[in-house]
Amino acid sequence: MPHPSLAHRPLTIATRESRLALWQAEHVRSLLQARLGTRVQLLGMTTRGDQILDRSLSKVGGKGLFVKELETALAEGHADLAVHSLKDVPMDLPEGFALAAVLEREDPRDALVSPRYGSLAALPQSARVGTSSLRRVAQLLAARPDLCIEPLRGNLDTRLRKLDEGQYDAIVLAAAGLVRLGLAERIAGHFEAADMLPAAGQGALGIEIRSDDAELHAALALLTDRTAWLAVHAERAVSRGLGGSCSMPLAAHAHWQGDRLHLAAALGHVDDPGQPLLRVQVGAQVTDRGTWQADGSDPATQAAERLGAEAVALLHQRGAAAYLQT
């Protein structure tokens, strides 16, 4: 049955044109057509984040480079919604935009990809490991200070090609992207959260819309996975509380045990990856009773965000301010 408010309205999804981004947009299109009965088309776009490949994101404007052009398409009415890997979405959206839905989460872990080595411990002394994530750099060097960490940019296929050409002994990627593209066999080993804490929102897909589109906002609520929504709101509250961006080696990951949400966070030094990581863990009961407010004002979402704020306070108690100075 078509959703009553969308029966008359075809939708356009703004998406990046990488293979993974298109898979994500197609996935959302299928959900919209199956659950809401509305017609959906894709608007492929190239972002500045896709174009600038010779410098790290932390030096050219951050992860917002992957979403700005999509937001422009929304603002100008060329698209109704944009689909993002939530870990690439800035913690505070620009005025006029809203996070309308978070879908069921894929595996949030990081993955080691290597043709020869099955684990971090198996890598030889001074092995070349590719990643441009400061979060990963800090945690890799905390575990193996002998490694030679080398920059790695480009879409997922480009990164795998560089590995296959022998430019690296191993690379670190999000497991979710490999699984979604049917490339799980490329994973040599997974990093458990205790060994490599994921980025806030990793493995989750978010749908962004214009904040004044109440009709679409209400309809998209039907696609939201509430356990993922609450977990990523706790994680993103950590990043927001510390002014989080890709120029900060920060990790945050929440998981459920019954109705209790457990949140772990780790912060590396912004200038000296050799400094020890600051680590904290917090937990709280987060129940999902009552009416959910899609703007995040419901008690459960607020409780999840308070958990993130508690983690931020603990990090500050352990010296976060000194780690954030540049």
What domains appear along the chain, each with residue ranges and CATH number? 1-104+203-224 (3.40.190.10), 110-191 (3.40.190.10), 226-321 (3.30.160.40)
Q: What is the pLDDT of residue 271?
A: 87
Residue 186: closest CA among 116, 133, 120: 116
Q: What is the pLDDT of residue 60?
A: 44
Backbone angles phi, psi at 183, to 5 degrees: -115, 25
Q: What is the pLDDT of residue 8?
A: 74
The predicted model scores a pTM of 0.90
Q: What is the pLDDT of residues 7-24, one digit of tens each?
A: 678 999 999 999 999 999
Q: What is the pLDDT of residues 166-209, one digit of tens each?
A: 999 999 999 999 999 999 999 999 999 999 999 999 999 999 99
In terms of Cβ atoms closer than 10 Å to its own Cβ (0-12, 13-18, 19+), residue 115 is: exposed
Low-confidence residues in the chain, pLDDT < 50? 1, 52-61
Residue 58: closest CA among 279, 250, 275, 266: 250
Which residues are known catalytic residues? Answer: 88
